[in-house]
Chains A and B, each alone.
Chain A
Amino acid sequence: MDIQFSQILFQLINFGLVFGALSYLMYKPVLKTLKQRSTKIQESQKAADDLITQKADMDKTNQKTLSQAKKEATELLTDAKKQADKKKEELMSKAKTDVQQYLTDEKEKWNQEKQQLIKQLETEMSEAVFSITEKVLGQSVDKKTQSTLIDQSIAEVLKTL
């Protein structure tokens, strides 16, 4: 077997030419494209990272806002409940006072009416008693008693003169 150095040389030159051509025609553009792609990917990655950071910040802010809102809502609710309780107590107290006053007034009114009725009844009863007395006396006084009464009346009249 003979080693043909010219062939080897030729192949080497061939290879070099092909390699050179390929490098120039393909390697650089491909590299350029790869580089561009890499840059784009990096930029996208950076953008994504920025977005993630932004989202994290927003989440934090939202959480904070939510917490604050919850706290305020709880405080508002507590205040509102306190005020409602206070108002309820005031209304109950007023209602109690009103009822007591009403009962006192009604009791007073009832007592007055009762007194009036009693007085009216006493008057009517005494009139009835007098009426009956007059009738009974008129019927039961005999002549002898009449005469005695006249004697007493005469004495009374003469005493008055």
Chain B
Amino acid sequence: MPTQVIVTSTISLSDAQKKALTSGLEKKYGPVSVTEKIDEKLIGGLKVTVGSEQFDASLAAKISQLKKNLK
């Protein structure tokens, strides 16, 4: 059964981007089923959720991390 992956970004991914991401994820998780979501709050970049794991490479996350570091 393919692993469920949710990809959240600010704009829709292009086919090349989808392919690159899918192929990278499959190397670790095996067959994956990607669901796309749009969220402008990310500002830029994307966030990948695989089960309980989350990889947040969005601009909003980076700004938030910067805020925490400066405190």
Chain B CB within 10 Å — which of A130, A138, A146 has the most? A146
Q: Say what secondary structure dominates the interface of chain A.
A: helix
Chain A neighbourhood of B21, CB < 8 A: 154, 157-158
Pick the contact of B14: A134, A138, A147 (CB < 8 A).
Answer: A147
A152–B70 CA distance with the chains assembled, in angstroms = 24
A158–B48 CA distance with the chains assembled, in angstroms = 10
Chain B neighbourhood of A137, CB < 8 A: 43-44, 59, 63
Task: Say whether, besides A153-B58, A157-B55, A127 and B25 are in contact (CB < 8 Å).
Answer: no
- Is there contact, CB below 8 Å, between A151 and B17? yes
- Is there contact, CB below 8 Å, between B40 and A160? no
Chain B neighbourhood of A157, CB < 8 A: 21, 24, 46, 48, 55, 57
Chain A neighbourhood of B20, CB < 8 A: 154, 158
- Is there contact, CB below 8 Å, between B70 and A150? no
Task: Say whether, besides A127-B67, A138-B40, A161 and B17 are in contact (CB < 8 Å).
Answer: no
Chain B neighbourhood of A149, CB < 8 A: 10, 44-45, 59
Report B69 CB to chain A, min CB distance, Å. Answer: 11
- Is there contact, CB below 8 Å, between B25 and A150? no
